[in-house]
């Protein structure tokens, strides 16, 4: 036998009223049916909190449904260090200082940490180095500390999008 069908919807905070109605209908019609597993991601800090907001009203109504709500917080400094050390395949003690800078810039937002790592690698601030016979990631903290990287995820993404060819 196979498992349930998984339906994953991201950024539900941007959904229009018709989409929210469809989501509610799907949820209600599958209450008895265990063949569908719904996973919604919603940034509750981006919801306009007013009685006139369809998304806010929909979100409030889901709190009364028999759903499992999981709230994810930003990563603490140790969490960012785990992410960085796992990504770079290095011991956490070696990535701690870099992780502290990334945590400060990203405020613990894991997506922003990934974007910062990607930007550092693409721009040559994070590079492979040969230590003895072992190839590993290396970086220059002085250069990274002096680097002007936006403290905003949106600004960083816009910067990356501006690098795309015009014909895209």
User: What DSSP letter does each residue of 3-64 carry, written as one string?
Assistant: --EEEEE--GGG--HHHHHHHHHHHHHTSS-TTEEEEE---GGGS--STT-HHHHHHHHHTT
pLDDT, average across residues 57-63: 82
Over 80: is that where the pLDDT of 83 sits? yes
Residue 52: band (very low, low, confident or very high) from pLDDT cuts 50, 70, 90: confident
pLDDT greater than 70 at residue 152: no
Mean confidence (pLDDT) of the chain: 84
Q: What is the pLDDT of residues 94-115, one digit of tens each?
A: 999 999 999 998 889 888 899 8
- Residue 56 pLDDT grade (very low, low, confident, very high; cuts 50, 70, 90): confident
SS3 95: helix
Mean pLDDT of 35-61: 80
Helix H or strand E encompassing 157: helix 153-162
| 68, 82 contact by CB (below 8 A) | no
Rounded average pLDDT over 30-58: 78
Contact criterion met (CB below 8 Å) for 92 and 83: no
């Amino acid at each position: 036998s196979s498992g349930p069908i998984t339906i994953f919807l991201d950024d539900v905070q941007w959904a229009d009223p018709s989409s929210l109605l469809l989501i509610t209908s799907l949820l209600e019609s599958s209450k008895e049916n265990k063949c569908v597993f719904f996973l919604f991601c919603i940034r509750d800090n981006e919801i306009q909190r007013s009685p006139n907001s369809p998304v806010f009203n929909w979100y409030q109504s889901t709190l009364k449904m028999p759903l499992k709500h999981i709230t994810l917080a930003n990563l603490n400094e140790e969490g960012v260090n785990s992410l960085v050390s796992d990504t770079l395949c290095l011991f956490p003690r070696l990535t701690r200082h870099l992780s502290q800078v990334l945590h400060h810039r990203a405020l613990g937002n894991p997506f922003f940490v990934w974007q910062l790592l990607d930007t550092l690698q693409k721009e040559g601030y994070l590079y492979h180095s040969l230590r003895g016979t072992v190839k590993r990631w290396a970086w220059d903290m002085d250069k990274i500390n002096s680097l002007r990287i936006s403290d905003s995820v949106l600004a960083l993404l816009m910067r990356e999008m501006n690098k795309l060819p015009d014909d895209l």
